[in-house]
Amino acid sequence: MDEEFSQLYSAYFMKVYCFVLNLSRNQDLAEELTQKTFFKAMTAAGKHRGEASEFTWLCAIAKNLFIDECRRQKPLAARDPDGPADTDIEKAFVNQDTAFEIHCVLHDMEEPYKEVFQLRVFGELSFQKIGMIFGKTETWARVTHHRARLKIQERMEE
């Protein structure tokens, strides 16, 4: 079971993360919801009936977690008149083509940006540990990760 889940995690983590990032437009929330998605999938391992692909199943879990988070945040925004406006959940959903495009950009990205981004997002390593892997400083890892994110955004806008 652990090997099977590890393969599922490796195959779909970035796709699910990109999906949630497109929904939430918030990197921290996307990371949190992606982790919750895989935790929920792991604890409900026998419940995937195979009617849809694993990726579709994971995105459905992530979407439901996102909707729950929006519902949880809505009363907070209502109490705070300066808080964020209500989001239209249907407008927030994006298609799989966008996630695929992000993967294509990442696939073509040059080193060390690609590896630093993957270590941070997929490997969930600290900037200090990424710096150690490359024999560089924590600041170097932070700057390189930031530049990688900017490159992805630039290429997505093209």
Same domain, 5 and 59: yes
Please indicate whether residue 2 or residue 126 has the higher confidence score (pLDDT): 126
Q: Residue 35: inside a domain, yes or no?
A: yes
Same domain, 78 and 1: yes
Instruction: Residue 35: count other Cβ atoms within 10 Å of its Cβ.
Output: 15
pLDDT over 60 (residue 151): yes
Q: Residue 60: inside a domain, yes or no?
A: yes
**Residue 123: per-residue pLDDT:** 72
CB 8 within 8 A of CB 41: yes
Q: How far is CA 124 from the centre of its chain?
A: 11
CATH number of the domain bearing residue 154? 1.10.10
How many independent structural domains does the chain possess? 2
CATH number of the domain bearing residue 39? 1.10.1740.10
pLDDT over 50 (residue 86): no
DSSP state of 83: S
Write out the residue range of the structural domain in which residue 62 sits.
Answer: 1-89
Same domain, 29 and 83: yes
Last residue of a domain, one of 57, 89, 121: 89
Amino acid letter, 84: P
Flag the least confident range among 71-80, 96-105, 107-116: 71-80
**Residue 4: per-residue pLDDT:** 78
User: Per residue in 15-60, pLDDT tens?
Assistant: 999 888 888 888 889 999 999 999 998 887 666 666 778 888 888 8
Q: What is the rounded distance in angstroms from the CA atom of residue 147 to the CA atom of residue 84?
A: 28
DSSP state of 12: H
For the chain, give the mean pLDDT: 79
Q: What is the rounded distance in angstroms from the CA atom of residue 113 to the CA atom of residue 145?
A: 7
Q: Quick one: what percent of the chain has pLDDT higher than 70?
A: 78
Q: Residue 97: inside a domain, yes or no?
A: no
**Residue 36: per-residue pLDDT:** 93
Same domain, 68 and 133: no
CB 106 within 8 A of CB 116: no
Q: Residue 99: inside a domain, yes or no?
A: no
Q: How far is CA 71 from the centre of its chain?
A: 20
Same domain, 14 and 72: yes
Q: Residue 32: inside a domain, yes or no?
A: yes
**Residue 138: per-residue pLDDT:** 92
Same domain, 61 and 128: no
Q: What is the rounded distance in angstroms from the CA atom of residue 85 to the CA atom of residue 118?
A: 33
Q: Residue 94: inside a domain, yes or no?
A: no
